[in-house]
A and B are shown apart, each in its own frame.
Chain A
Amino acid sequence: MEWQHEEQIRAYRDTLLSALRARSGRRSGEQAEAFQVFVNQESIGVLDGSRGDTSRISVSRTRAIHTVEIRSESGELVAGVCMQDFDRKTVQFRAGRSTFDISVHNRPDAGTVRVTLQAASSAWARIPNQLAAAMARLSSSVAPVRVPFWATVQAGLVLAVLFLVADRFTDRLELHDMTRRQALSSATQPLEAKLQDTRLALARQEQLLHQLAQTQEETVRTIKTQQQTFEGLHRTVETVVQNQKQLGVNVKAVRRGEKPAGDRTAQAVEAQVNKVLRSMESDRERVFNHIFHLADSQERIARQQQKLERDMVSLQNRELRMSFEQQAVAVAKMMSAQEASKDVASVEVSSEPTVEQKPESKVYLVTFWVSFQDGTSEESIEQLIHEIKGRKGPSNAGWYPIEVNLPKPQTPDEMIESLKKTKIVKAITTSLNTTPAPK
Chain B
Amino acid sequence: MQDQPHALSRFSVLVATAEEFEQFTNDTLPELLDRAAVHTRKFLKETGQWADDVAHEKLALRWGYELLERFLVCGRLEVPCRPFFLLDSLAAKFFSQPDPMRYHRGLLTPLGRFLDGLASKAVISRDALMALFYHLYGFGQSQVVKVLGLDAMDSQRIYKNFGRWRRDGWQRTVEEIGLTEPELSSLEDQKSQDAKRVSTDAGRLLGEVQTHYRKSEPEHFPCLSGEQWADICRDGHSYDYRVWHLAMCRECLEIVCRFRQGEFPDIPVPAVDLYVRPLQKNGLMVEAGVNGGNGHGMATRRANSRLS
Contacts and interface: CB of A to CB of B under 8 A. Distances in A.
A16 B307 contact: no
Could you say which of B57, B61, B124, B307 has the most chain A C-beta atoms within 10 Å of its C-beta?
A: B124
Given A9-B54, A58-B308, A24 B121 contact: no
Interface in B35-89: 53-54, 57-58, 61-62, 65, 68-70, 72-75, 77-78
A75 interface: yes
B17 to A, nearest CB: 15
Interface of B: 22, 26, 29-30, 33, 53-54, 57-58, 61-62, 65, 68-70, 72-75, 77-78, 90, 93, 97, 121, 123-128, 157, 160-161, 164-165, 168-169, 172-173, 175-176, 178, 180, 215-218, 240, 244, 303-304, 306-308
B126 A73 contact: yes
10 contacts: A9-B61, A13-B30, A17-B29, A17-B33, A20-B68, A24-B22, A24-B72, A74-B165, A77-B69, A77-B70
A290 interface: no
Closest 7 interchain pairs by CB? A75-B125, A45-B306, A82-B74, A80-B73, A73-B126, A16-B65, A75-B124
A57 B306 contact: yes
A21 interface: yes
A161 interface: no
A328 B69 CA distance: 114
Interface of B (DSSP majority class): helix
Contact of A48 (B72, B244, B304): B304
Could you say which of A24, A48, A79 has the most chain B C-beta atoms within 10 Å of its C-beta?
A: A24
Given A16-B61, A16-B65, A73 B304 contact: no
Interface in A229-253: none
A62 to B, nearest CB: 12
B74 A81 contact: yes
Contacts of A34: 126, 157
Contacts of B78: 82
Nearest to A79: B73
A89 B76 CA distance: 13
A73 B125 contact: yes
A43 B116 CA distance: 18
Interface stretch (A64-72, A342-350, A359-367): A64-72
Interface residues of A, number: 47
A376 interface: no
A47 B125 CA distance: 14
B164 A89 contact: no
A74 B93 contact: no
Contact of B54 (A5, A19, A21, A58): A5
Contact of B77 (A17, A20, A43, A89): A89
Interface string A37-63: 010011111111000000111100000
A275 to B, nearest CB: 54
Contacts of B93: 66, 82
A12 interface: yes
Contacts of A20: 29, 33, 65, 68-69, 72
Given A16-B65, A66-B93, A47 B73 contact: no
A42 B216 contact: yes
A56 B73 CA distance: 21
B307 A47 contact: yes
Contacts of A75: 121, 124-125, 127-128, 169, 173
A332 B65 CA distance: 121
Given A43-B217, A48-B304, A57-B307, A71 B74 contact: no
Given A9-B54, A56-B307, A16 B62 contact: yes
Given A5-B54, A57-B306, A23 B69 contact: yes
Contact of B125 (A17, A58, A71): A71
A38 B124 contact: yes
B121 A42 contact: no
Nearest to B167: A74
Contacts of A81: 74, 77
A8 interface: yes
